[in-house]
A and B are shown apart, each in its own frame.
Chain A
Amino acid sequence: GEDVEQSLFLSVREGDSSVINCTYTDSSSTYLYWYKQEPGAGLQLLTYIFSNMDMKQDQRLTVLLNKKDKHLSLRIADTQTGDSAIYFCAETPGYSSASKIIFGSGTRLSIRP
């Protein structure tokens, strides 16, 4: 089946690292994504990783993929108040990234001063 699971809430102190975790079920997924959604806004693509990679780094963002355990994580270094948002893990099942995107329910990240 197609399912993406992630924890609902995460609270971190400003300046610390945030780690948001996700598990997915479709072993044939080709692309895995992290999207950010701020209140009242649409979805902003933060980063994506191809399934034959195990890590991708982009400035403060690090994505780790454990394909064996079907586990994806997003690490945000030096978390800032502007990082407060809902973060969605997502996958495109199957071998074509033209297919639908399956989203998790989102992790709400809040920042403590």
Chain B
Amino acid sequence: DAGVTQSPTHLIKTRGQQVTLRCSPKSGHDTVSWYQQALGQGPQFIFQYYEEEERQRGNFPDRFSGHQFPNYSSELNVNALLLGDSALYLCASSTWTGRGYGYTFGSGTRLTVV
């Protein structure tokens, strides 16, 4: 059973460019959350998608946007990239188990902005 799949694994972009990161959730999961992990920090919540809608959002600017597709996969888009956007971007999928939500994290996409 495949877990959470993220692509690409690594990416280098130039300041001002736009980037799209992709996430396929674990089979049976319907909720996708995105996190940004800067070097030496814990992951920070960006937003969460459920039923193709943004359900919650963290303290990130509008340059960060997302989408969820009918098959539950998701994209994270970042416009007008800044050097400070360099980080590991983690996708987590989850679903209600009847005893709580079980989260599964992907291995992440490492984005470097130069």
Residues of A at under 8 Å CB distance from B?
A: 4, 30-31, 35, 41-45, 50, 88, 90, 92, 97-106
Contact = CB atoms under 8 A, between A and B. Distances in A.
B64 interface: no
B101 A106 contact: no
Contacts, number: 57
A43 B43 contact: yes
Nearest to B46: A100
Interface string B79-107: 00000000000101010100011011111
Contacts of B92: 43, 101
Contacts of B35: 101, 103
A45 B35 CA distance: 15
Contacts of B8: none
A16 B68 CA distance: 46
A84 to B, nearest CB: 17
Nearest to B90: A42
Given A42-B105, A42-B107, A42-B108, A101 B100 contact: no
B103 to A, nearest CB: 7
A100 B56 contact: yes
Interface of B: 4, 31, 33, 35, 40-45, 48, 50, 55-56, 58, 90, 92, 94, 96, 100-101, 103-108
A102 B45 CA distance: 7
A35 B108 CA distance: 15
Nearest to B33: A100
Nearest to B99: A50
A105 B41 contact: yes
B35 to A, nearest CB: 8
25 contacts: A4-B42, A30-B100, A31-B100, A42-B90, A42-B105, A42-B106, A42-B107, A43-B90, A43-B92, A43-B105, A44-B105, A45-B103, A97-B101, A98-B31, A98-B48, A98-B55, A98-B94, A100-B48, A101-B45, A101-B103, A103-B35, A105-B41, A105-B42, A106-B41, A106-B42
